[in-house]
């Protein structure tokens, strides 16, 4: 089965079938034509036999008749006949006879007596001997004028049969005085001459009922068996199929019928045809093996290039992509081969592309994590003093959300470009969205400061894309190779350092073991925070907000602290990010708001009318239930909505602006005051903030703390004030650390001020003390 599935076998089988069919057809056709040829040949032979016989027989008749007529007109002969000189007459008759070499010469008198009968025969030496016939002087057995007409010119004499023709001898008055006749022997010699002419065995027979007399036949070839056969045929008209026979009834002789016949065995007759046929068969049979060999060769030739291609394809399949596929064959197969070659090149190109993709970042074309591992592994194994600097671009989420992903992608590409310029020997990689790595093979710790300065210069350059100008900032975590530390660990350490830097709001952090200790602590905090909320380990500190126009404390900001049973006071910057990442922000904010409402009532009982601002995290805004809870709880606790301000940072809005706006609108429609916290640190413009349903802006403390020493900050604060007022927003300045700044802001109609100059955030009791002693009541 497998063998037959092979192309070569199939082609060969096809050829074999075609060859056999062609041979069978030609065999059948030549057999048919041979049969026809045989029939034709036999028919021809019989016609020839018939024609030859007739011409011989008729010729002899004509010749004998003409000669008899000539002799009868011979006056010499006639005179001697009339004279009655028998001897002289016989001599003259013989002379005439010998002229045509007749076997019999006869003269019959008018009364029917044979007056001359000369029979010529040959003696043993082949000499002609002429003798008187046995019927000399006997009465002629036939009536010449009636019986011996033209039809039956036969005369049987002494067992010999003659073909004889008479002509009348006439007297002067034209009366018949006798007849003169000449005859040829019908016998062996005639049969022989017929055979010579036709190639057939010839003979004559006299048949009288069952008695058959052989009158003459053509020599030696005829055998007893054949004679019998011919006889039978002539009598019964039936013939053995092996023989071809021609016969003709010639006439009656003494009540016997005379027949001429010619025959030959079929095989003898058709011997030449048969040998020709056999030759044809032999040629056909010889063609069979030759054609089969040819078919085998052709099928091999057709499939050889295919086998070559199979071989080369296997070679390619083993991963050898640089061979040149070729076949020494037809144009089509050469094309196929060249297609193979191009396919091979395409595979190489694709494999290279796939490999490139596997080890590179598609957006920036920088190395990716895989490539970082691949390159750094040998560095570590070689014991190089490696450094990994993990770089996080700040606020990339905001860029993506506010300016769109196209701009985000351009920023990432720009950062990639800048990183590549820092050190040509360093490997620059992109690990994920806004995380990059610079890996150094040989790194001197002493050059770290220079490197960092360079990094800050490179990344910190202003970036302009279309009309947008951005100030790119980064946070970095750095780890240095230590004996026995692999690349995975080194990267994790850099990441720990990075998280640490972020948490402490630092630009960078070099990893050391203590950080890990901190992260362990951080991990513990995660677990403890839940309990802390439930067990009231949290406390609210209050920082006053001064109404600058009235010079009166009308508001406070509630800032949470965690009084940890073992660690003491933990600042919000440490645990707020944890709460945000561990889904505990909802519980925390609800605690803060509940506590702030309780505080409101406590102050109310002390106749202190204070509006409280609470910080809301991005996580809270994502939860629809949260807003309803705030509104409902205020109503339940009987706290007027006007007494509550919610502070939200810009980035709380950017992740899902639609939802955020919906929530803020709901809150504002219910009478709550909304404030944008840390204004100026994000990427959103005032125009964008215009969309938000808010009442107030809190200028970030970074612009206020050194306001009087920094002209740029003054410009920013001044213009923010103007724009905000134009939009109908109130402005709160936080981070006021001195009197002059307070003065400056008051002069410029900033609505409220907050800062250490007035008071640090204080727990309830201390705040109450501060307030009672304060000048702003
Ligand atoms: P924030 O909302 O910007 O709060 C103001 C922060 O600036 C407070 O730090 C405050 O102590 C500090 N500050 C006020 N005036 C000055 C000044 O004149 N100079 C300087 N250098 N700093 C000043 P705090 O209390 O450590 O809070 C840090 C941050 O933690 C807050 O920043 C706020 O984002 C977050 N936070 C605090 N309490 C809560 C809370 O209850 N809920 C939420 N979601 N976040 C909170
Ligand atoms: Ca705040
Ligand atoms: Ca703030």
Are 181 and 195 within one domain? no
Closest ligand (CA of 678): 3
What pLDDT score does 234 carry? 74
CA distances from 691 to 284, 627, 694, 727 (A): 102, 19, 9, 11
Mutate to test the pocket of ligand 1, among 555, 615, 682 (most ligand atoms within 8 A of CB): 615
Q: How much distance in Å is there from the Cα of 611 to the middle of ligand 3?
A: 17
Q: Where residue 147 falls among pLDDT bands split at 50, 70, 90?
A: low
Nearest CA to ligand 1 atom 38: 559
List the residue whose alpha carbon is closest to atom 14 of ligand 1. Answer: 755
Is residue 528 in contact with ligand 1, taking CB distance under 6 Å? no
Cα four-point dihedral sign 333, 338, 341, 343: negative
Domain extent, residue 218, equals: 189-269
The ligand 1 atom nearest the CA atom of 572: 30
Strand 474-480 versus strand 387-393 pairing type: antiparallel
Residue 142 lies inside a defined structural domain of this protein? yes
What's phi and psi for 756, nearest 5 deg? -60, -25
Q: Is the residue at 290 inside a domain?
A: no
Q: What is the DSSP string of 709-727?
A: G-HHHHHHHHHHHHHHHHT
Rounded distance from Cα 761 to ligand 1 centre (Å): 8
Count of alpha carbons within 13 angstroms of residue 251, beta-carbon side: 18
CATH number at residue 756: 3.20.20.450
Whether pLDDT at 458 is above 80: yes
Q: Specify which of 143-152, 207-216, 421-430, 521-530 reaches the highest per-range mean pLDDT.
A: 421-430
**Nearest atom (ligand 1) to Cα of 757:** 18
Contact of 136 with 116, CB cutoff 8 Å: yes
Separation of 533 CA from ligand 1 center, angstroms?
19
Q: Looking at the CA of residue 571, tell me the nearest atom of ligand 1.
A: 26
Give Rg (Cα) of the chain.
71
What is the DSSP-derived secondary structure letter of residue 367? B
For residue 679, give the ligand nearest its CA.
3
Q: How confident is the model at residue 153 (pLDDT cuts 50, 70, 90)?
A: confident
Instruction: Look at residue 546 and give its three-state secondary structure.
Output: strand
Residue 519 maps to a domain: no
Identify the nearest ligand to the CA of 681 by its number. 3
**Domain count for the chain:** 5
Determine the Cα angle at 498 with ends 528 and 577, to 5°.
35
Q: How far apart are CA 664 and CA 650, in angstroms?
A: 12
Closest CA to 363 of 308, 405, 300, 311: 405
Q: Is 588 helix (H, G, I), strand (E, B) or coil?
A: helix
Q: 64-78, 134-148, 533-547: which range is least confident on average?
A: 134-148
What is the CA(36)–ligand 2 centre distance, in A? Answer: 123
Cα–Cα distance list, 766 to 182, 273, 614 (Å): 185, 143, 19
Based on the domain organization, do 221 and 128 belong to the same domain? no
Quickly tell me which residue has 């800048």 as its tokens: 418
* 589 located within any domain: yes
**Residue whose CA is closest, atom 3 of ligand 1?**
678
612 lines ligand 1 (CB under 6 A): no
Q: Are 35 and 29 in contact (CB under 8 A)?
A: no
Residue pair 620/586 in contact by the 8 Å Cβ criterion: yes
Final residue belonging to a domain, choices 511, 539, 564: 511
Nearest CA to ligand 1 atom 34: 615
Closest CA to 436 of 411, 415, 460: 415
Residue 653, pLDDT score: 81
Residue 606, in any domain of the structure: yes
Q: What angle do CA 262, 193, 122 make, to 5 degrees?
A: 125
| Atom of ligand 1 lying closest to residue 756 CA | 18
392 lines ligand 1 (CB under 6 A): no
- CB 559 less than 6 A from any atom of ligand 1: yes
307 in any annotated domain: yes
pLDDT exceeds 70 at position 220: no
Is 396 in contact with 434 (CB distance < 8 Å)? yes
Cα 647 to ligand 3 centroid, rounded to whole Å:
8
How many alpha carbons lie under 13 Å from residue 601 in its C-beta half-sphere?
A: 10
Same domain (yes/no): 166, 255? no
Distance from the alpha carbon of residue 559 to the mean position of ligand 1, in angstroms: 6
Nearest atom in ligand 1 to 592's CA = 41
566 shares a domain with 644: yes
Residue from 729, 641, 715, 645 nearest 686 by CA: 729
Short-list 225, 147, 181, 212, CA closest to 68: 181
Same structural domain, 242 and 164: no
Distance 768 CA to ligand 2 centre (A): 20
DSSP string, 110-134: TTSBEEEEEEEEE-TTS-EEEEE-T
**b/e for 714-748, b at 16 or more Cβ within 10 A?**
bebbeebbebbeeeebbbbbbbbbeeebbebbbeb
Q: Whose CA is closest to 776, among 597, 607, 606, 549? A: 549
pLDDT tens figures, 310-321 = 888 888 888 788
Would you give the DSSP letter of residue 447? G
pLDDT at residue number 239: 66
For the residues 704-725, what does the mean pLDDT come to? Answer: 94
Separation of CA 645 and ligand 3 centre (Å): 13
Q: What are the φ and ψ backbone dihedral angles of 215, each rounded to 5 degrees? A: -85, -30
Query: For the residues 468-477, what does the mean pLDDT come to?
Result: 89
pLDDT at 437 over 60: yes
Q: Dmax over Cα atoms in the chain, in whole Å?
A: 213
- Distance, in Å, from the CA atom of 675 to the CA atom of 556, rounded to the nearest integer, reads 13
- Residue of 734, 738, 742 to test ligand 1 pocket, by largest number of atoms within 8 Å of CB: 734
- Nearest-atom index, ligand 1, CA of 573: 30
CB distance 560 to ligand 1 below 6 Å: yes
Query: What would the pLDDT profile of 577-603 be if each residue is shown by its tens digit?
Result: 889 888 999 999 999 999 999 999 999
Q: Compute the distance from residue 754 Cα to the ligand 3 centre, in Å.
A: 10
Percent above pLDDT 70 for the chain: 96
> With contact defined as beta carbons under 8 Å apart, do 284 and 27 qualify?
yes
Q: Is the CB of 572 under 6 A from ligand 1?
A: yes
Q: Residue 148: what pLDDT?
A: 63
Tell whether 592 is covered by a domain.
Answer: yes
Q: Which of 35-39, 70-74, 471-475, 602-606 has the highest mean pLDDT?
A: 602-606
Q: Does residue 490 share a domain with residue 405?
A: yes
Q: Of 125, 160, 186, which marks where a domain is finished? A: 186
Q: Is the CB of 701 under 6 A from ligand 1?
A: yes
pLDDT over 80 at 689, yes or no: no
pLDDT in tens, 377-436: 999 999 889 999 999 999 888 888 888 899 999 999 999 999 999 888 899 999 988 999
Question: Does one domain contain both 759 and 626?
Answer: yes
Residue 547, H or E segment: strand 538-547
Q: What is the mean pLDDT of residues 489-499?
A: 92
- In this structure, which residue's CA is closest to atom 19 in ligand 1? 735
Is the pLDDT reported for residue 34 higher than 90?
no
HEC sequence for 724-737: HHHCCCEEEEECCC
Ligand 1 pocket check: which of 539, 559, 623 to mutate, most ligand atoms within 8 Å of Cβ?
559
CA of 565 to the centre of ligand 2 (A): 26
Q: What is the mean pLDDT of the chain?
A: 88
Lowest mean pLDDT of 89-98, 584-593, 622-631, 642-651, name the range: 89-98
Check pLDDT > 60 for residue 237.
yes
Looking at the fold, whether 489 and 632 belong to one and the same domain comes out as: no
Pick from 483, 514, 490, 484: nearest CA to 500: 514
Give the domain-ending residue among 465, 481, 511.
511
Helix (H) / strand (E) containing 85: none
C-beta 303 within 6 A of ligand 1? no
For ligand 1, the distance from its centroid to the CA atom of residue 418, given in whole angstroms, is 34
Looking at the fold, whether 759 and 646 belong to one and the same domain comes out as yes
Q: Give me the residue label for tokens 């050391």.
A: 512
Half-sphere CA count of 524, side-chain side, radius 13 A: 9
Cβ contacts of 501-509, under 8 Å, gap ≥ 24: 501/475, 501/476, 501/477, 502/392, 502/475, 503/573, 503/574, 503/577, 505/573, 506/475, 507/456, 507/473, 507/474, 507/475, 507/476, 508/452, 508/475, 508/476, 508/477, 508/478, 509/476, 509/477, 509/478
Using alpha carbons, list the distances in angstroms from residue 471 to 159, 459, 543. 153, 9, 32
**Residue 41, in any domain of the structure:** no
580 and 720 part of one domain:
yes
**Do 542 and 478 have their domain in common?**
no
If you measure from the C-alpha of residue 11 to the centroid of ligand 1, how many angstroms do you get, rounded to a whole number? 90
Residue whose structure tokens are 């640490």 = 500
What does the pLDDT look like over 101-110, one tens digit per residue? 899 998 888 8
Look up the CATH number of the domain holding residue 449.
3.30.70.270
Task: Mention every residue, 6+ apart, whose C-beta is less than 8 A from residue 428.
Answer: 366, 367, 416, 419, 420, 422, 436, 437, 438
Evaluate the CA torsion angle 480, 485, 487, 493 in order and state its sign: negative
Same domain for 745 and 678, yes or no, is: yes
738 vs 296, more confident: 738
CB 75 within 8 A of CB 148: no
**Residue 10 CA: distances (Å) to CA of 1, 7, 15, 119:** 11, 5, 9, 84
Pick the closest to residue 204 from 183, 235, 230 (CA basis).
Answer: 230
| Alpha carbons 642 and 671: distance in angstroms, whole number | 6
762: how many CB neighbours lie within 10 A of its CB?
A: 18
The CA 714 to ligand 3 mean position distance, Å, reads 18
Ligand 1 contact, 753 CB (< 6 A): no
């Amino acid at each position: 089965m497998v063998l037959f599935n092979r192309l070569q076998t199939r082609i060969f089988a096809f050829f074999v079938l075609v060859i056999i069919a062609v041979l069978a057809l030609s065999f059948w056709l030549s057999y048919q034509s041979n049969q026809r040829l045989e029939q034709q040949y036999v028919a021809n032979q019989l016609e020839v036999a018939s024609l030859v016989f007739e011409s011989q027989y008729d010729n002899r008749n004509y010749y004998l008749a003409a000669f008899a007529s000539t002799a009868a007109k011979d006056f010499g002969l006639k005179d001697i006949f009339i004279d009655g000189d028998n001897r002289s007459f016989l001599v003259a008759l013989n002379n005439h006879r010998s002229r045509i070499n007749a076997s019999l010469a006869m003269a019959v008198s008018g009364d029917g007596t044979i007056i001359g009968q000369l029979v010529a025969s040959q003696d043993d030496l082949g000499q002609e001997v002429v003798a008187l016939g046995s019927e000399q002087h006997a009465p002629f057995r036939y009536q010449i004028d009636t019986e011996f007409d033209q039809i039956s010119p036969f005369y049987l004499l002494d067992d010999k049969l003659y073909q004889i023709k008479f002509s009348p001898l006439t007297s002067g008055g034209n009366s018949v005085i006798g007849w003169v006749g000449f005859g040829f022997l019908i016998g062996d010699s005639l049969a022989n001459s017929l055979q010579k002419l036709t190639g057939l065995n010839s003979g004559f027979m006299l048949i009288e009922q069952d008695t058959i007399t052989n009158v003459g036949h053509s020599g030696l070839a005829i055998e007893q068996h054949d004679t019998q056969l011919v006889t039978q045929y002539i009598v019964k008209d039936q013939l053995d199929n092996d023989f071809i026979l021609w016969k003709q009834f010639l006439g009656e002789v003494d009540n016997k019928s005379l027949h001429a016949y010619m025959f030959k065995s079929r095989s003898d007759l058709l011997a030449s045809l048969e040998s020709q046929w056999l030759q044809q068969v032999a040629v056909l049979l010889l063609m069979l093996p030759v054609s089969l060999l040819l078919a085998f060769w052709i099928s091999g030739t057709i499939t050889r290039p295919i086998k070559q291609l199979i071989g080369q394809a296997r070679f390619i399949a083993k991963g050898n992509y640089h061979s040149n596929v070729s076949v020494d064959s037809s144009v089509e197969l050469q094309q196929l081969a060249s297609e193979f070659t191009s396919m091979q090149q395409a595979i190489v190109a694709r494999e290279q592309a796939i490999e490139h993709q596997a080890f590179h970042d598609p957006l920036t074309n920088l190395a990716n994590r895989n490539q970082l591992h691949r390159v750094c592994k040998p560095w570590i194994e070689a014991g190089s003093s490696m450094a990994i600097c993990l770089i996080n671009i700040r606020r990339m989420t905001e860029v993506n959300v506010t300016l769109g992903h196209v701009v985000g992608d351009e920023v990432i590409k720009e950062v990639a470009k800048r990183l590549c310029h820092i050190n040509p020997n360093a490997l620059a990689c992109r690990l994920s969205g806004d995380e990059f790595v610079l890996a150094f093979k040989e790194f001197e710790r002493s050059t770290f400061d220079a490197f960092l300065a360079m990094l800050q210069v490179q990344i910190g350059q202003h970036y302009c894309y279309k009309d947008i100008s951005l100030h790119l900032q980064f946070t970095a975590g750095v780890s240095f190779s230590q004996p026995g530390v692999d690349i995975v660990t080194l990267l994790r350490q850099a990441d720990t350092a990075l998280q640490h830097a972020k948490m402490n709001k630092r630009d960078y952090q070099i990893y050391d073991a203590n950080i890990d200790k901190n992260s362990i602590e951080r991990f513990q905090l995660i677990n403890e925070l839940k309990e802390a909320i439930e067990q009231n380990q949290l406390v609210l500190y209050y920082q006053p907000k001064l109404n600058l126009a009235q010079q009166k404390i009308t508001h406070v900001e509630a800032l949470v602290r965690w009084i940890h049973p073992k660690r003491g006071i933990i600042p919000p910057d440490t645990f707020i990010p944890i709460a945000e990442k561990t889904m505990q922000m909802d519980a925390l904010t609800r605690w803060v708001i509940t506590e702030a409402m309780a505080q409101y009532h406590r102050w109310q009982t002390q106749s202190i009318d204070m509006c409280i601002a609470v910080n809301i995290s991005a996580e809270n805004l994502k939860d629809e239930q949260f807003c309803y809870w705030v509104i409902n709880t205020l109503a339940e606790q009987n706290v007027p909505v006007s007494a509550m301000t919610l502070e939200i940072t810009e980035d709380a809005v950017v992740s899902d602006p639609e939802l955020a706006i919906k929530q803020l609108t709901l809150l504002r429609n219910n009478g709550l005051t909304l404030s944008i916290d840390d204004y100026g640190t994000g990427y959103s413009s005032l125009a964008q903030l215009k969309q938000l349903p808010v009442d107030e802006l809190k200028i970030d403390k970074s612009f206020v703390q050194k306001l009087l020493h920094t002209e740029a900050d003054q410009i920013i604060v001044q213009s923010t004030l103007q724009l905000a007022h134009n939009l109908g927003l109130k402005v709160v300045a936080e981070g006021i650390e001195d009197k002059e700044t307070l003065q400056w802001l008051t002069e410029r109609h900033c609505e409220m001020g907050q800062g250490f100059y007035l008071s640090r955030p204080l727990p309830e009791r201390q705040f109450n003390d501060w307030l009672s002693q304060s000048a702003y009541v």
